[in-house]
Amino acid sequence: MSRFWSNTVKGLTPYVPGEQPKLSQLIKLNTNESPYGPSPKALAAIASANTDALRLYPDPNSDALKQAIAKVHGLNPQQIFVGNGSDEVLAHAFLGLLKHDAPILFPDITYSFYPVYCNLYDIAFENVPLNEDFSISIDAYLNKNGGKNGGIIFPNPNAPTGRALSLKNIKDLLDGNKNSVVVIDEAYVDFGTESAVSLVNQYDNLLVTHTLSKSYALAGLRVGYAVGHPELIEGLERVKNSFNSYPIDKLAMAGAIAAVEDQAYLQKISQAVIQTRTELVKSLDQLGFETIPSSANFIFTKHPQHDASKIATSLRDKHIIVRYFKMPRIDQHLRITIGTDEQCAKLIEALKEIIN
C-alpha cells in the first residue's frame, strides 16, 4: 500500500491469472491455452507484417479485421467490435453497457474477472447460484428481483465448469429479458456449443464475445471481439475511443485476419481437442473421477476419495500443473486443460500413481 495510491486502487481486488511458470519441461494444463500451434497462415502473416511500417500507428478502427470477422459470421462490420483480448472487450462492455442502477446478474461460479470489473467500475451485481449439477437455470435469471436487472452475463459454455446451455435456452432468456443487455461470453464456443451469434439480428440487446486465445491458439496475440447490434457496438467504440485508440497492433491485426480466414485449421484443431477430451474423460472415469460433461477445452473433475488441492500439489511435484480454485462449492474440483494425447496420457499415469 502506498500513500500515493488513489482510493480506487486501494479498493481493488485484482484478478489473479493462472500462473505462467518459466520452467520448461512442464505439462501446462492450467490456463486453457491450445496444445497446438496457431494457423501457419497466421504465423506467415505476422512475419510479413514485421517491417519498417511498424513505425506507423495501426488502423485505429481495425477495419480489415472487422471485415474478416463479419464475413465469417455472415454479418456486417458495423456489428463487430474488436479489442486487445476479449478481456478488454468485456471490460468495455461492463463500463459501457452493464453499468446501470439495477444490479447485473451472473452465476456464483463463473469467470472470476466479472466481479473484478464490477469492483473496478463500481457496478452493482448479484450472483445467481448454479443448480446443484452446476447447470445454469434460465428461470432463476428471469425471476430474480421480479425480472429487473442492469444486465446479464455468463460464459457459454460456463467456466470453470465447462457446462453449456442450448441455443433454445439462450433464446428463452432473451425472450424473457428484453430491457437490459445480455452478454454471452463464448470464449469456448468452438469446442462444441451452438453459438448465439446466429441470434444477433433478432435481439438488439444481445452481445456475444469471442476470443482468439483458446480455439485459435493465439493467446499470445491478444485479440478478442464482440458481435451485436450496431448501437451496442457504437457504445463499445465510445468507451474504446476514450481509453486507447489503438488496441490492435499491426502484428496482431495481420495474424488475427489470417487466423479468422483459416476456418479449416480452426475446425481441425478444435476437433482434435474434442476427441482428446472424450478419451480423457473415459480414462478419468476408470480412475473413479467424477467429471462434469464438458463442451470446452478443459474438464472440471473431482475424486470422491481424494482431496483436490492435494492432487493438484502432487501433480505439480510431477511437473504437471492444473487449476485449483479455493472457493466455496468448487474446492474439491480441479480444472484441467485438454492437452495433446501424449500430455493427457502422462496426466493419467501421474494420477494413477497419486491415487493408488
Ligand X SMILES: *Cc1c(COP(=O)(O)O)cnc(C)c1O
Binding region for ligand X (CB under 6 A):
85-87, 111, 155, 159, 185, 187, 211, 213-214, 219, 224
Nearer to ligand X, 338 or 354 (CB): 338
Q: How far is the CB of 240 from ligand X (least distance, A)?
A: 15
Q: How far is the CB of 296 from ligand X (least distance, A)?
A: 8
Beta partners for 321?
28
What grid cell was written down for 118?
A: 464490477
Q: Contact 234/95 with Cβ under 8 angstroms?
A: no
Q: How far is the CB of 209 from ligand X (least distance, A)?
A: 7
Q: Contact 109/131 with Cβ under 8 angstroms?
A: no
Nearer to ligand X, 222 or 302 (CB): 222
Choose among 77, 40, 34, 42: nearest CA to 260: 42
Nearer to ligand X, 232 or 296 (CB): 296
Q: How far is the CB of 214 from ligand X (least distance, A)?
A: 6
Listing from the earlier edge strand, what are the strands of the sheet with 298-302? 27-29, 320-324, 334-337, 298-302, 290-291
Q: How far is the CB of 213 from ligand X (least distance, A)?
A: 3
Q: Where are the beta strands (DSSP E) in 198-297?
A: 206-211, 224-228, 290-291
Q: How far is the CB of 86 from ligand X (least distance, A)?
A: 4
Q: Contact 91/117 with Cβ under 8 angstroms?
A: yes
Residue that has been written with the C-alpha cell 463442451 in this structure: 295
Cα separation, 312 vs 334, whole angstroms: 7
Helix (H) or strand (E) holding 93: helix 86-97
